[in-house]
Amino acid sequence: MMTNMKSNYKKFMRQKTSEKIFEVILYIVMTGALIITLFPFLNVLAISFNLSSDTATGGVGIFPRVFTLDNYKELSRFPALWTGFYISVLRTVIGAVTGLFCTSMLAYVLSRRDYMFRKFVTTMFLLTMYVSGGLIPYFMVIRVFSLNNSFWIYIVPSLISAYNLIIVRSFIEGVPDSLQESAIIDGANDVQIFVRVIVPLCKPVLATVALFIAVAQWNSWFDTYLYAPFEESITTLQYELMKILQGAASSGVARGTAAQLQMAKTISPLSIRMAITVVTIIPIIVVYPFAQKYFVSGMTLGAVKG
């Protein structure tokens, strides 16, 4: 580390003045970017631990001035948050498992160059990234299948995303054909090849996709808002948070929408809102350091083929 810094310093000094200035500006800009990215998080954290009456005087930075846990104790006043938490965990787990299974299975079929409908099915899924029937016809389809006000609204319509499908497919295409061929010689059928050969080899990309699905599920709120706004037994954490935050900002959006009318009129203090925000981010922050490399590899993989 020390020698590294020394050599960096030497390299720095060897440059022309204009390049030195460039280097200095570069580091200043990047440090600025770092601060801008992190500040909102730290500010929310500080406010959530700060005494509510003190926060009202303004000017809380990244450290709580008067430390307290009261804001978190207040959370018990929101019983819906518990249901929301439970449902959010449930949809994240079930959504990731089912989504992973379906995505990888279809990706395998589409990776097979001899599959008869390869082009047709691939195009069918890719097109969904760009064209859709629109909000209202989709809403009607959901109603026809009685998915609204049911937990399965969170799982069934989002089983496969075209983007994840491409990521997994391009990874499987990178697996040498000889492995599949030797499995065939051993008498394996296509299902067995998928389960015994492909899945074990694809663990890294499957981890990536599982994380993508899990994050999307955890963060989703719009499906609850649109398809189950009054169904308290399947409310989600993000939706509850949205109701509380929006209620406070009194910046209702689509006033005509039924969900908006029900939107909590109770205005909760900033401190409590921030405490709820922290609770909702925690799972992401905890998983994030371990998951980061999978996210990045998935993104790179998707971009190459995408």
Partner 1 sequence: MEREKKALKPRKGAKGSFAQRFYKQRYLMIMSLPFVIWCFIFSYLPMFGWIMAFQDFKLQRSLTESFFTAEWVGLQHFQELFRDERFYFALRNTLGMSILGITIGFVIPIVFAIMINELRNGLFKRTIQTISYLPHFISWVIAAGMISQMLSANGPVNDLLISAGVLDERVPFLGIGEMFWGIITVSDIWKEVGWNAIVFLAAITSVDTALYEAAEVDGAGRFRRIWHITLPSISNVIMVILIMNIGWLVNVGFERQMLLGSDQIRRWAEVLDIYVLRFGIGMGRYSYGTAIGIFRSSVSIILLYVANRLAKRSSGGGII
Residues 260 to 279: which contact partner 1 by CB under 8 A? Answer: 260, 270, 273-274, 277
Nearest residue (CB) to partner 1, 66 versus 141: 141
* CA angle (170, 213, 118) in 5-degree steps: 35
Which candidate, 295, 306, 292, 296, places its Cα nearest to that of 169? 306
Return d(Cα 280, Cα 225) in angstroms, integer. 17
Sign of CA dihedral 40, 43, 47, 49: positive
- Rounded to a whole number of angstroms, the minimum distance from the CB of residue 199 to partner 1 is 13
From residue 283 to residue 302, the character string flagging contacts with partner 1 as x (rule: CB under 8 A) and all else as - is: -x---xx--x--xx--xx--
State the number of binding residues for partner 1 (CB under 8 A). Answer: 115
The only residue of 10, 14, 255, 265 in contact with partner 1, by rule CB under 8 A: 255
Strand, helix or coil at 132? coil
User: Within 118-177, which residues bind partner 1 (CB under 8 A)?
Assistant: 121, 123-128, 130-141, 143-145, 157, 159-160, 176-177
- Is residue 242 a contact residue for partner 1 (CB under 8 A)? yes
- Rounded to a whole number of angstroms, the minimum distance from the CB of residue 15 to partner 1 is 8
- Rounded to a whole number of angstroms, the minimum distance from the CB of residue 216 to partner 1 is 9
Nearest residue (CB) to partner 1, 82 versus 288: 288
Beta bridge partners of 50: 67
- Rounded to a whole number of angstroms, the minimum distance from the CB of residue 114 to partner 1 is 4
- In this structure, the dihedral spanned by the alpha carbons of residues 270, 276, 279 and 282, taken in order and rounded to 10 degrees, is -60
User: Within 53-72, which residues bind partner 1 (CB under 8 A)?
Assistant: 58-59, 61
- In this structure, the dihedral spanned by the alpha carbons of residues 69, 74, 79 and 84, taken in order and rounded to 10 degrees, is -50
User: Within 171-190, which residues bind partner 1 (CB under 8 A)?
Assistant: 176-178, 180-181, 184, 189-190
- Is residue 13 a contact residue for partner 1 (CB under 8 A)? no
User: Within 61-120, which residues bind partner 1 (CB under 8 A)?
Assistant: 61, 102, 105-106, 108-110, 112-117
- Rounded to a whole number of angstroms, the minimum distance from the CB of residue 251 to partner 1 is 3
Q: Please, are residues 95 and 217 in contact by the beta-carbon 8 Å criterion?
A: yes
Q: Please, are residues 301 and 295 in contact by the beta-carbon 8 Å criterion?
A: no
- Is residue 50 a contact residue for partner 1 (CB under 8 A)? no
- Rounded to a whole number of angstroms, the minimum distance from the CB of residue 26 to partner 1 is 6
User: Within 195-234, which residues bind partner 1 (CB under 8 A)?
Assistant: 215, 218-222, 226
- Residue 234, classified by CB atoms within 10 Å of its CB into exposed (0-12), middle (13-18) or buried (19+), is buried
What distance, in Å, lies between the first and last C-alpha atoms of the chain?
Answer: 38
From residue 26 to residue 45, the character string flagging contacts with partner 1 as x (rule: CB under 8 A) and all else as - is: xx-xx--xx-xxxxxx-xx-
- Is residue 254 a contact residue for partner 1 (CB under 8 A)? yes
Return d(Cα 229, Cα 224) in angstroms, integer. 6
Q: Please, are residues 81 and 237 in contact by the beta-carbon 8 Å criterion?
A: yes
